[in-house]
Amino acid sequence: MSYYTGSTGEISALWRPVADVEAIDRPKSQARLVAPGSVTQGQFGLFEWNMKPRSGGPGAHFHRTFSESFYVISGTVRLFNGEKWVDATAGDFLYVPEGGVHAFRNDGDEAASMLILFAPGAPREAYFRELAEIGDSGRQLSAEEWTELYARHDQFMVDRG
């Protein structure tokens, strides 16, 4: 980890107006890449995740090289903490360290929104772009191809939850 060692500070802040934030729109969700690792020099990644009603979500999985945190902004998000599902609402938070099994979904009749924080700033945007490309193309992946894609993006599916 690097630290600032100067004594006077520096002008180094980065402002990103909303128009500069890339969005990956899918039929059931939208990922707004507020501050991907490429913007934060790999220190963290921050995404806004907006889910339509009954949009579901990923199955239980873990990551080896980064932690993931979830902060619910609105609606009800079902969060899996590796042991049980909880109904999280605005202001609720879940931290998942490296290796922690987790999942999320929207099973409700209302839209839901949350912030997802990755630390360090793994290039998760590449994973979500690739999923969007597969969905848009209509390509069908075999189980082996899915396993390889997940492994390439440090996502390991587990049979829980």
List, in order of start, the domains of the chain with CATH numbers: 21-157 (2.60.120.10)
Q: HSE on the CB side for 106, CA within 13 Å?
A: 21
Cα dihedral across residues 83, 113, 28, 16: positive or negative? negative
- By residue count, the chain amounts to 161
The pLDDT, as a whole number, for residue 1 is 67
CB atoms within 10 A of CB 94: 19
Q: What is the pLDDT of residues 33-46, one digit of tens each?
A: 999 999 999 999 99
Q: HSE on the CB side for 54, CA within 13 Å?
A: 1
> Which amino acid makes up residue 3?
Y
The pLDDT, as a whole number, for residue 3 is 87
